[in-house]
Amino acid sequence: MKTCTFVTGNANKVIEVNAILGEKIAIEPRAFDLPEIQGTLEEIAIDKCRRAAKIVEGPVIVEDSALEFNAMNKLPGPYIKQFLELLGNDGLNKLLHSYTDKTAEAVCTFAFTTGPSIDPITFQGRLKGQIVSARGPPVFGWEPIFEHEGETLAEMAHEKKNGLSHRYQALLKFQEWLAAQELDI
Amino acid sequence: MKTCTFVTGNANKVIEVNAILGEKIAIEPRAFDLPEIQGTLEEIAIDKCRRAAKIVEGPVIVEDSALEFNAMNKLPGPYIKQFLELLGNDGLNKLLHSYTDKTAEAVCTFAFTTGPSIDPITFQGRLKGQIVSARGPPVFGWEPIFEHEGETLAEMAHEKKNGLSHRYQALLKFQEWLAAQELDI
């Protein structure tokens, strides 16, 4: 089992990915900044995966999270990181003040390639919810304002969250695909 | 005077650029799609200029417009094109419903390089205004909702607009810089 670089600076994500893919892939986390393009979630993940594979010259996994507001035609979408930085959770709520529809989807897109000359493949997971005023510990990004079945992600027990999150849903698809492959990476 | 590719599909922009830079540079418009990165206005223009220069293997001008809402910490900024497509001018107004500050800046960033191995240089122009309900012919993008000194850009006489716009301000800087160069492109 050769190693596969997972581009992230987030130790929790490494644990989550290892827990689900670890039997098939030896994950090697590496934090480096990659420019992200504007575009669809898949385009962004695929482009980032290609750039990373060129740098590491080997197999790579990248991951990208998005938050889609249905009233805003899925915006801020992939730009949620920058919107959160510039507006905060209160400002994200304000974006929806004019709309009665507060529903949203959290989206996680993984892209994987075995090397720089191979087209990356993507796996996407989604979680439905709605945007609410912040509740729960403000530890991780927009989790305090994303409510799923009565609880915000920030209020949710860690194990429960990891067993239903958009990232988990994407990782299940990734795992299922891996199980059907004879990977030689 | 050798030719310089100007990446655009907009004939009016070609006329505006030619009018101000035409004495020093022979502009050759070429419309092709280039992926744009996420980032600051300068980063986006520089990256796009580099990609274009690699493709045409020669001198290139690219241009990028942005619309910054002051209440939203300069968002949507470079993402205005996608925001306009997905929300329309009415939806852009809605983003600011929760804020009393409706001021905004229209920003135009040109990037120019003499070739693929040369770092691009940028020229930026800005126009202050405020976001209002759409007025004037809905011909061009967000011009009906950007008001400058009592008139929206859509209401403004063409010559007046071309003599004060963010694009004009950027082109003046570009022209001034060119005048001081011995360009061999």
Residue tagged 């079945």 (tokens)? A149
Q: pLDDT tier at A1 (50, 70, 90 boundaries)?
A: low
Residue B70 domain boundaries: 3-180
Q: Among A101-105, A154-158, B10-14, which stretch is predicted with the lowest mean pLDDT?
A: B10-14
| Inter-chain residue contact B87 with A95, CB threshold 8 Å | no
Assigned domain for B108 exists:
yes
Assigned domain for B113 exists:
yes
Query: Taking CA B53 as the corner, what is the angle to CA B52 and CA B57, rounded to the nearest 5 degrees?
Result: 125
Residue A91 burial by CB count (10 A; 0-12/13-18/19+): exposed, middle or buried? middle
Examine the pLDDT at B32 and tell me if it is beyond 90.
no
CATH number at residue A40: 3.90.950.10
Assigned domain for B185 exists:
no
A95 touches chain B (CB under 8 A): yes
Assigned domain for A86 exists:
yes
How far does A41 lie from chain B, in Å, by closest CA? Answer: 13
pLDDT digit string (tens) for A18-37? 999 998 899 999 998 898 99
ipTM of the complex: 0.86
Which pLDDT does position B184 carry in this prediction? Answer: 58
Q: Give the pLDDT mean for B59-64.
A: 96
Q: Over the range B9-18, which residues count as b (16 or more CB within 10 Å of their CB) and which as e?
A: eeeebeebbe
Which pLDDT does position B185 carry in this prediction? Answer: 56
Count of structural domains, chain B: 1
Assigned domain for A185 exists:
no
pLDDT digit string (tens) for B118-164? 999 999 999 999 999 999 998 889 999 999 999 999 999 999 999 99
Assigned domain for A74 exists:
yes
Residues of B in contact with A35 (CB under 8 A): 37-39, 43, 47
Q: pLDDT tier at A48 (50, 70, 90 boundaries)?
A: very high
